[in-house]
Amino acid sequence: MNRETVRRAGEILAAAWLADNVVDLPSELLPSDRDAAYAIQDEMARLLAGDPANRDAGWKVGATSAGVQRAEGYDGPIPGRIFASTVFGDSASVPLTRCRDAKVEVEVAFRFKAAPHLKNGAFSQDDLAMIVTAAPAFDVTGTRYAAACRAGWDGRQNMLAGIADNGNGGAVLLGEGVSSWAGMDFMQLCVDLRINGGNSVPNLWDRSRGDPIHALAWTVNLVYERGFALAAGDVVLTGSLTEPQPVQAGDRVECTMPGLGSLYCQFSRA
């Protein structure tokens, strides 16, 4: 994919982000591989970075499990940046303006107490575990692509388009972090997510659940391999522990994550 094509695709996605709108991406601008998808994501981020509100606050990753990747036709996870303007705290009212076809996912967020420094070519899970706190988080996904545009894509095209569109980013809600999480088994953690006081949403288990610690290491290593870095205070979201749930303005969402705490928000139109 040549530089001009990357530039055009990045401009279209950045403009859609700023306008809180969706677009029909021309077929010739659809990335053909991960390198092209990452390049478009980077161009989108570069164009948005003119506004300090869109500075990087961390990274997120989705489709972290083998089961989800196989079911969706993906060849790996879907990473994206977290922009500071999209981050909210517990009990916030979260606007859905940038979250078209919004779905909420419950995830473990890791916040860096210190900047990770690369030593021997790659970060191990143990390296990172020593310098992060863990917290419950909501990842509210969104899209810049019109439904008619997405309808014609296969799984691989959806994956690549999602990477280009900042990992299907929308909004992020973060709970308070705890340092005493090292003994937790996230693969067996039963999360209680409820929407409007309804029944608890099914958890993802077995091959449908990605390991948050593994996802943290994968994401951080990718960030550094691609020439970027993380700073103290940055956050990494590590993939859904529950089945993603569609949400709309007016919905109340709450979850309890044993050992990490609880999280609540209400969604609004703007």
- Residue 52 Cα distances to 48, 81, 84, 211, angstroms: 9, 15, 8, 33
Name the domain count of the chain: 1
- Residue 48 Cα distances to 10, 29, 166, 234, angstroms: 10, 19, 11, 18
Q: Is residue 120 part of a domain?
A: yes
Q: Is residue 42 part of a domain?
A: no
Q: Is residue 13 part of a domain?
A: no
First CA to last CA distance, the chain? 36
Q: Is residue 210 part of a domain?
A: yes
Q: Is residue 43 part of a domain?
A: no
Tens of pLDDT along the chain (270 residues) come to 899 999 999 999 999 999 999 999 999 999 999 999 999 999 999 999 999 999 999 999 999 999 999 999 999 999 999 999 999 999 999 999 989 999 999 999 999 999 998 877 899 999 999 999 999 999 999 999 999 999 999 999 999 999 999 999 999 999 999 999 988 999 999 999 999 999 999 999 999 999 999 999 999 999 999 999 999 999 999 999 999 999 999 999 999 999 999 999 999 987
The C-alpha atoms of residue 15 and residue 21 are separated, in whole angstroms, by: 8
CATH of the domain at 232: 3.90.850.10
Q: Is residue 22 part of a domain?
A: no
Q: Is residue 68 part of a domain?
A: yes
Q: Is residue 132 part of a domain?
A: yes
- Residue 231 Cα distances to 34, 86, 198, 234, 235, angstroms: 25, 18, 39, 6, 9
User: What range does the domain containing 231 cover?
Assistant: 56-268
